[in-house]
Amino acid sequence: MKAVACTPCAIAEAAEALESGLLVAFPTETVYGLGADAENPDAVARIYEAKGRPSNHPVIVHVAPGADISYWAQQIPEQAQQLIAAFWPGPLTLILKRAAHIPDAVSGGQDTVGIRCPSHPVAQELLRAFKGGRGGLAAPSANKFGHVSPTMAEHVMEEFTQELSPGGLIAAVLDGGQSEVGIESTIVDLSRLATHGPVLLRPGHISAAQLEQVMQMPVASPDAAAPRASGTLDAHYAPHTPVVQIRADELDQVVTQLQARGKQVALMSYQAHPAIQTSAWRYLPADPVSYAHDLYAGLRELDHAQADLILVEALPQDQDWQGVNDRLRRAAFDSRDVLARLLG
Ligand code: TXA
Ligand code: MG
């Protein structure tokens, strides 16, 4: 199967497939999502099956611009209204108390629901066509559980070859070009405002400082009792090749040592390193917004290089880089000992 160009006809067909309980992958400005009717528990169960994801992990409900949020959430605090006015449509997910009639399946059994209105025009057209704009699409990122999120239709095709074959779980992939933001939405929990204030569950393109400025109150880091979020598991967003972050001033030396032991090194850097020569090298822009845009495509490309490991030049630690650093830390989580083993 091929990815489908987004003609009005293709969107109408995709909406129909979703209404009948099938899955459709679609572009958003952050990453591609694997969508299902959020009010159809069987359809939502198909997402878990296709992704190989544990079914107690909640998924985000995507809604059309201007949708009635009170249909999905039972308490909509003033802070939610302020953030919606400032950042929707856009890469921000709000966690709110779930309305009683919303199926358990979307919230992984928790009493909250994650809601987001995406800004990508194809996502919006699809949401307007689906159930006449009054429905919600449960959509996690369109990748296998724990793997790198897709920012292009081709990435989705690569992830789900079997599920996209005739009679498979996924009816179509809508091709809307490369996702502009490139990393998943910022998630802020507003479901426990009275006791915890707003809590940043996942950093992203919209920063904690921007949220604080709009709400005029501090945004806390997650505590032990914060709602579970799979994107906040320690290991996540990982390519198959181990990823190791190395400080810029150690990069030359580490590459030399690895190559002396006959290891194949793939490198991702944002600065020039004239002394280094490797067969696979992805050079990413030195500003956080452009870096995020290219990050996942870069990791996928280097994952194809058949290297022993992917070395990533460690990034600055300031706030602007928080979203990207969060994803890289999780991509590298399982590979801490890899370098020692390859050098040993
Ligand atoms: O940018 C995005 O958010 C993308 C695009 C497709 O919209 N979606 C995405 O979905 O990243 P996913 O499922 O890969 O990550 C959603 C995150 C997960 O960490 C999930 O646990 C969390 O949102 N989440 C969803 N509903 C939640 C809830 N009720 N409480 C806590 N976390 C929730
Ligand atoms: Mg994901």
Probe residue for ligand 1, chosen from 87, 116, 187, 228 as the CB with the greatest number of ligand atoms within 8 Å: 187
299-332 pLDDT per residue, tens: 999 999 999 999 999 999 999 999 999 999 999 9
- Asked if 269 and 249 count as a contact pair (C-beta separation under 8 A), the reply is no
Q: Give the residue-averaged pLDDT of 251-256.
A: 95
Position in ligand 1 atom list of the atom nearest CA 233? 19
CATH topology of domain 4-215: DHBP synthase (3.90.870)
Mean pLDDT for all residues in the chain: 93
5-55 pLDDT per residue, tens: 788 889 999 999 999 999 999 999 999 999 999 999 999 999 999 999 888
* Binding site membership of 31 for ligand 1 (Cβ less than 6 Å): yes
Distance from the alpha carbon of residue 246 to the mean position of ligand 1, in angstroms: 29
The whole-angstrom separation of Cα 238 and Cα 198 is: 28
Distance from the alpha carbon of residue 143 to the mean position of ligand 2, in angstroms: 7
Residue whose CA is closest, atom 12 of ligand 1?
140
The whole-angstrom separation of Cα 33 and Cα 100 is: 25
* Binding site membership of 107 for ligand 1 (Cβ less than 6 Å): yes
Domain boundaries, the chain: 4-215, 243-342
Q: Which of 102-106, 175-179, 257-261, 321-325 has the lowest mean pLDDT?
A: 102-106
Which of 1-5, 262-266, 337-341 shows the highest mean pLDDT? 262-266
pTM of the complete model: 0.95
Return the CATH class of domain 243-342: alpha beta
* Binding site membership of 191 for ligand 1 (Cβ less than 6 Å): no
pLDDT over threshold 90, residue 189? yes
Q: What is the pLDDT of residue 229?
A: 57
Three-state secondary-structure class, residue 26? strand
Q: Give the residue-averaged pLDDT of 81-107.
A: 95
Strands (E), 88-247: 92-97, 112-116, 137-138, 170-175, 186-189, 199-202, 243-246
47-82 pLDDT per residue, tens: 999 999 888 889 999 999 999 999 999 989 999 999
Q: What is the pLDDT of residue 236?
A: 76
Residue whose CA is closest, atom 10 of ligand 1?
140
CB atoms within 10 A of CB 263: 15
